[in-house]
Structure 1
Amino acid sequence: MEKTSVLVLIAEDEAEIRNLLQDTFEDGGFDVYLVSTGEEAIAALDEQGDNLRAVVSDINLGGKATGWDVARHARQLKADMPVVYMTGTEGSDWAALGVPNSILITKPFAPTQVLTAVSQLLNAANTAAPPAPGD
């Protein structure tokens, strides 16, 4: 039986956090697509859109595009794309700038918190769809 991989986009400008999340997600059975800027994340969404199943993004990515921009772009491509934001400072803007049905995790965090948040959103998306006739 072929392994079904779930590809998660991780946008984080701090290499140490990016690498920690990569290890955590890979240990959890996910495939990861790593980027360090919002612009790279948006390009990855355009290139890999159908393959990507979830987005994890820092809000302050150091470029012109923020994590808010990345999430909005992801939702333009796929309306139910699971989105998890990470931030040390921008949490108060989540209600105004974040996309609906997303999760915000404040730094510092345990990497497994992010993995759990993505899993929750993926599970919610899978259970939201009505069963196909005959199932």
Structure 2
Amino acid sequence: MGHSKPHRPTALVVEDDDIQREMLSLMLEDRNFEVLQCEDGETAALALKMKHPTLMVTDINLVGKMDGVDLAHYAQQQNADMRIIVISGRPLPRPLPPGAQFFTKPVYPTALLAATKR
């Protein structure tokens, strides 16, 4: 008889910088998240539809046509209960959906991890 693995929440990390994406992913994996990584909004939108993550961490500036703010609004339409964290080194270009959190870079790991527990 097989043993089932305990359910791990899924997080989606969307960042076009490889090093930052990997750093965020490792931090979340240490918190027992299964992590999906994307570098652009279009791929992330597909991951949102197919994998139904409970948490998304996205940069604002992404390669492709969709930026992180667009992606945050799309994610909330897909799952109103999803925790959404948006990070950027620049000010927000337009409002985020209600409940989404914004962090300026550099993001301190303790602040980001506290936001994932909401």
**TM-score (ref. length: structure 1):** 0.78
Instruction: Give the equivalent residue in structure 2 for 1:47.
Output: 50
Report the secondary structure of 2:114's partner residue.
helix
Please give the per-residue CA displacement for 1:38-93, whole angstroms capped at 9, x wherever unaligned.
Answer: 111111112112xx1111110111221011111111111111211000000133x3
Alignment of structure 1 residues 45-124 onto 2, 5 Å: 45-49=48-52, 52-91=53-92, 93=93, 96-120=94-118
Is structure 2 residue 9 aligned with structure 1 residue 11? Answer: no
Gapped regions of structure 1 (runs ≥ 5): 121-135
Gapped regions of structure 2 (runs ≥ 5): none
Report the secondary structure of 1:101's partner residue.
coil
Look at both structures and tell me which one has the larger radius of gyration over its CA atoms.
1
Please give the per-residue CA displacement for 1:9-42, whole angstroms capped at 9, x wherever unaligned.
Answer: 1100111111101111111111101000111111
Q: Which range is displaced more, 104-113 or 56-65?
A: 104-113
Counterpart Cα distance in 1 of 2:15 and 2:112:
13
Counterpart Cα distance in 2 of 1:8 and 1:115:
12
Q: Which range is displaced more, 6-15 or 69-78?
A: 69-78
Are the structure 2 counterparts of residues 90 and 64 from structure 1 closer, same or farther at C-alpha, using a change threshold of 3 Å? farther
* Letter of the structure 2 residue corresponding to residue 35 of structure 1: C
Counterpart Cα distance in 1 of 2:63 and 2:5:
39
Instruction: Give the equivalent residue in structure 2 for 1:32.
Output: 35
Displacement of 1:99 = 0.7
**Number of equivalenced pairs:** 115
Structural RMSD (CA): 1.5
Q: Percent identity?
A: 33
